[in-house]
C-alpha cells in the first residue's frame, strides 16, 4: 500500500511540475553582443529569468554587423524569427521598409508602464520611422574625447577640475594640438584613420556641429559644410597631429601607451581604460569628455543598442507574447545601471538621472551629450555597416590620409550614394 501511495505522490509531483513548465512563457532572444557587452547582457538575462519564474528567455548571440542583419532578414522572411532582438537604432530606416520590425502602439507601450517621457528625446525619436515607434532604446553610445591628464597638464591645457580647457573652437583645438606637440607629446591626437566607420562618426559630428544636414531635398551633402568638416580632419593628419592609416587597435595603443595625449573613440572603450588603470598598466591619469564644440554648436554622433520585435507575415508574434516582450524591455531598462558600466549612457532617464549613475565616472561627465546627440540620417542608406559607411571607407578615408583631394572625395561620395534609394 505504501508503494502505491509513494508512486501516486511521485506522479502528482511530476504532473504539477509539468503544469508549471507548460505555464512558463518561452521567449527566444537574439543579440550581437560580444566581449564585455555580451557578459553584461547575459548577466541581466540570467537575473531576469531567476526573478521571473513564469518567463524563460532563451538567448542566442550571433555575429555583429551585416551577418546579424542578414540573418534577421532571412528569418523574418520564413517565419523563424526570435521574439525579441537587439538592434541598432541607426538601422531602423533600412529595416522598416523591408517589413522586418513590428510597430509598437501607444497602448502597448502604456500597458507596459512606459512612456516617451521615460527616454531622452534624441534616442526615442530615433526609434521612430515617421510617427510610428518600432523599438525602444537601451542606451546611448557615442564617441568621446579620451585624454591624458598628465600630458594636458604639462601643456597648460588642464583645468583645476581635472578636465581639459581651451579646446572649444576649431582654431583653439588646433592650437592645443600644437601646444601638445611643443611640450614633447609624440602624437597629440590619436584617430582610427584607416576605417570608414570610425571616421564617419567624427565627420558626422563635425557636420552636425555646423547644423548642417547630410541630405536635404534628396541632395547628398549640400553646401560646403561637408568640405569644412573633412578639411578639419585632413588638417590633423597633414599637420602630423594624427598619424596616417592607423588601425583600430593601434589607435588605442597609442593612447594607452602614453604616446598620444588625446584619443577619439567610442564610449565602449571605457572598460579598457578602467581595467588598465585598475591593474596599474596605464601609467597616467585619464579622463573622457564629450567632443568639444569645434564648429558652431554642441552635437555628437550617437547610436543606440535598442530592443525590437521582429515581424514576419509568415509567422507573426502573438499579442500575448508582445506583452511579455515589452515587460522584458521595461525590466531591462529599469536595470540598465550595470549596462552603463560598459561606458554607455542609459537611455532610460530614471537610471541616467539616478544618484548611482551620477557617481559613475567618466560616464556622468560626458552624459550631457545625450541631450544633443545626433543619430545617423533617417534614410535607408545610413546605419551601421550601411552604404554611408562604405562610401566613407572608399573616399573620405583616402582623403583623410592624403590620397585624394577632399573636394574630389566628397564628389565621389555624392556620386556613389546619390543613385541609391534615399527613402
pLDDT in tens, 218-273: 999 999 999 999 999 999 999 999 999 999 999 999 999 999 999 999 999 999 99
Q: Are residues 116 and 246 in the same domain?
A: no
Structurally, the chain folds into a number of domains equal to 2
The reply to whether 73 and 58 lie within a common domain is yes
E strand map for 35-121: 55-61, 84-88
Q: Is 62 helix (H, G, I), strand (E, B) or coil?
A: coil
CATH number (domain holding residue 86): 3.40.190.10
- The single residue listed with the C-alpha cell 573616399 is 395
Burial of 386 (0-12, 13-18, 19+ CB in 10 A): buried
CA 186 remoteness from chain centre: 30
Average pLDDT over residues 44-68: 97
Structural domain includes residue 6: no
Question: Considering Cα of 156, then 162, then 166, then 172, what sign does the dihedral take?
Answer: positive
**Residue 9 pLDDT class (50, 70, 90 cuts):** very low
Predicted pLDDT at 421: 62
Cα–Cα distance measured from residue 42 to residue 33, given in angstroms and rounded to the nearest whole number: 9
Tell me the C-alpha distance between 275 and 172, whole Å: 32
When pLDDT is averaged across residues 40-58 and rounded to a whole number, the result is 98
**Which pLDDT value is given to residue 422?**
62
Q: Is the distance from CB of 304 to CB of 88 less than 8 angstroms?
A: yes
Q: Is residue 315 part of a domain?
A: yes
Quickly list H helices, 52-129: 66-78, 92-95, 106-111, 121-126
More confident call, 8 vs 206: 206
Does the pLDDT at position 149 exceed 60? yes
pTM: predicted TM-score of the whole model, two decimal places: 0.92
User: pLDDT band at residue 10, thresholds of 50, 70 and 90?
Assistant: very low
Say if residue 296 is in the same domain as residue 309.
no
Does residue 12 fall inside a structural domain? no
Q: What is the mean pLDDT of the chain?
A: 94
Structural domain includes residue 381: no
> Does one domain contain both 228 and 328?
no
> What pLDDT does 30 receive?
98
Q: What is the DSSP string of 137-181?
A: E-EEEEEEEEEEHHHHHHTT-B-TTSSB-S--SHHHHHHHHHHHH
Burial 158-168 (b: 16+ CB within 10 A, else e): beeeebbebbe
Residue 3 lies in a domain: no
C-beta contacts of 162-166 below 8 A and 24+ residues apart: 162/285, 162/287, 163/287, 163/289, 163/365, 164/287, 164/289, 164/292
- 349 and 414 in a single domain? The answer is no
Handedness of CA 303, 378, 109, 97 (dihedral sign): negative
Query: So what's the pLDDT on residue 7?
Result: 46
The percentage of the chain sitting over the pLDDT mark of 70, rounded to a whole number, equals: 94
Q: What is the mean pLDDT of residues 200-205?
A: 98
Query: pLDDT band for position 385 (50/70/90)?
Result: confident
Q: Are residues 194 and 272 in the same domain?
A: yes
Owning domain of residue 360: 25-138+304-364
Same structural domain, 326 and 226: no
Instruction: State residue 419's pLDDT score.
Output: 78
Residues 164 and 190 placed together within one structural domain of the fold = yes
Amino acid at each position: 500500500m505504501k508503494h502505491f501511495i509513494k508512486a501516486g505522490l511521485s506522479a502528482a509531483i511530476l504532473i504539477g511540475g509539468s503544469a508549471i513548465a507548460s505555464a512558463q512563457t518561452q521567449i527566444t532572444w537574439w543579440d550581437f553582443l560580444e566581449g564585455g557587452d555580451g557578459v553584461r547582457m547575459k548577466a541581466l538575462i540570467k537575473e531576469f529569468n531567476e526573478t521571473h519564474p513564469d518567463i524563460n528567455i532563451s538567448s542566442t548571440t550571433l555575429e555583429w554587423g551585416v551577418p546579424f542583419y542578414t540573418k534577421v532578414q532571412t528569418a523574418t522572411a520564413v517565419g523563424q524569427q526570435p521574439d525579441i532582438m537587439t538592434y541598432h537604432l541607426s538601422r531602423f530606416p533600412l529595416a522598416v521598409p523591408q517589413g522586418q520590425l513590428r510597430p509598437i502602439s501607444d497602448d502597448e507601450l502604456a500597458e507596459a508602464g512606459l512612456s516617451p517621457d521615460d527616454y531622452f528625446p534624441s534616442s526615442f525619436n530615433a526609434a521612430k520611422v515617421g510617427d510610428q515607434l518600432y523599438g525602444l532604446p537601451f542606451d546611448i553610445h557615442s564617441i568621446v574625447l579620451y585624454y591624458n591628464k598628465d600630458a594636458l597638464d604639462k601643456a597648460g591645457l588642464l583645468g583645476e577640475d581635472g578636465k581639459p580647457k581651451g579646446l572649444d573652437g576649431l582654431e583653439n583645438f588646433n592650437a592645443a594640438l600644437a601646444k601638445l606637440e611643443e611640450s614633447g607629446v609624440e602624437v597629440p591626437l590619436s584617430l582610427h584613420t584607416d576605417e570608414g566607420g570610425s571616421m564617419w562618426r567624427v565627420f558626422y559630428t563635425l557636420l552636425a556641429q555646423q547644423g548642417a544636414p547630410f541630405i536635404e531635398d534628396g541632395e547628398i551633402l549640400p553646401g560646403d559644410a561637408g568640405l569644412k568638416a573633412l578639411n578639419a580632419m585632413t588638417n590633423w593628419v597633414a599637420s602630423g597631429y594624427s598619424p596616417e592609416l592607423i588601425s583600430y587597435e593601434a589607435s588605442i595603443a597609442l593612447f594607452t601607451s602614453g604616446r598620444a595625449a588625446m584619443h577619439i573613440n567610442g564610449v565602449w572603450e571605457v572598460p579598457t581604460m578602467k581595467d588598465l588603470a585598475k591593474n596599474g598598466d596605464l601609467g597616467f591619469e585619464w579622463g573622457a569628455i564629450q567632443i568639444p564644440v569645434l564648429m558652431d554648436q554642441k552635437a555628437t554622433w550617437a547610436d543606440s543598442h535598442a530592443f525590437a520585435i521582429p515581424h514576419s507575415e509568415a509567422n507573426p508574434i502573438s499579442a500575448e507574447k508582445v506583452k511579455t516582450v515589452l515587460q522584458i524591455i521595461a525590466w531591462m531598462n529599469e536595470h540598465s545601471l550595470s549596462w552603463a558600466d560598459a561606458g554607455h549612457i542609459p537611455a532610460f532617464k530614471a537610471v541616467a538621472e539616478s544618484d548611482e549613475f551620477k557617481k559613475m565616472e567618466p560616464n556622468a561627465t560626458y552624459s550631457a551629450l545625450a541631450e544633443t546627440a545626433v543619430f545617423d540620417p533617417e534614410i535607408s542608406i545610413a546605419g551601421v555597416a550601411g552604404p554611408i559607411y562604405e562610401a566613407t571607407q572608399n573616399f573620405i578615408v583616402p582623403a583623410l590620409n592624403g590620397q585624394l583631394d577632399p573636394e574630389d572625395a566628397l564628389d565621389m561620395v555624392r556620386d556613389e550614394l546619390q543613385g541609391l534609394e534615399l527613402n
